[in-house]
Amino acid sequence: MGKTIKATQPPRRLNPAALGATITEHYHNRSLADVNDHEIRLSVMTEGFPWHIHPDSDETFLVVEGQLVIEFEAGEVVLSPGEMLTVPHGARHRTRPGGARSVNLTFARKDAATAFEAGG
């Protein structure tokens, strides 16, 4: 069995929608929590993110606000609030908001590599 840890305080409660509402930058991406060897990040975007791959980690998106468009070489998928999709490691993709703004959570292995295309 695992080691029992005594906490001096209860775990911290987070509200991703409320946190996203406070962000006014065109692109904001920050870590919210670690879960074992994975990280949960909050991403707020008003503009697209360039083509890239994650060679060593899958990446899961869960939309909190707005719509998120995930483009692949074979087409695109549009996610609405409450919907999620996992991009397999090594899959070339890029993301952009489906309207003026999107707020989403991303789940990926901590320190996962991101490889961008030259000029893209």
pTM: 0.89
Element (H, E) at 107: strand 93-109
Q: What is the pLDDT of residues 45-97, one digit of tens each?
A: 999 999 999 999 999 999 999 999 999 999 999 999 999 999 999 999 999 99
Superfamily designation of domain 16-111: Jelly Rolls (2.60.120.10)
Q: Give the domain ranges of the chain.
A: 16-111
Alpha-carbon distance of 51 to 12, in angstroms, equals 34
Q: Which residue has the tokens 């899958």?
A: 58
Q: Which residue has the tokens 């904001």?
A: 28
SS (H, E, C) 5-53: CCCCCCCCCCCHHHHHHCCCCCEEEEEEEEECCEEEEEEEECCCEEEEE
